[in-house]
Amino acid sequence: MPDGGRQLAILNSEFRIPLPGVSLPVIGKGLGVVGFYDGGNVFSAIGFHGQYTNTVGGGLRYATPVGPIRLDIGHNLNARPLNGISSTQFFITLGQAF
């Protein structure tokens, strides 16, 4: 069971913009930018009760044969202070988010 409850709400959206005219040394083509919104949380009971979180951010995508390399920075707009975790996070991942 997820920490915090049995109900889960998730909303992810991403706006991808390829940069076809960009060709950089070493990496070549395949670069793009992205803006995104992520929302949701885990709830102890049905209903949001002010716990729904909203995160916005942006990033870069680079297409590779095994999937995109993703460099993202996101900021939780209504983060609650929790164990010193920053409301702004940076992620480097390989593959699609969804």
Per-residue pLDDT of the chain (98 residues), as tens digits, is 446 677 888 899 999 998 877 766 666 678 899 999 999 888 777 666 667 889 999 999 988 888 889 999 999 998 777 767 788 999 999 987 66
Q: How far apart are CA 13 and CA 89, in angstroms?
A: 17
Residues 46-73: tens digit of each pLDDT = 666 667 889 999 999 988 888 889 999 9
The closest of 72, 51, 56 to 9, measured between CA atoms, is: 51
Q: How far apart are CA 27 and CA 44, in angstroms?
A: 46
Q: What is the DSSP letter of 26?
A: T
| Residue 80 amino acid letter | R
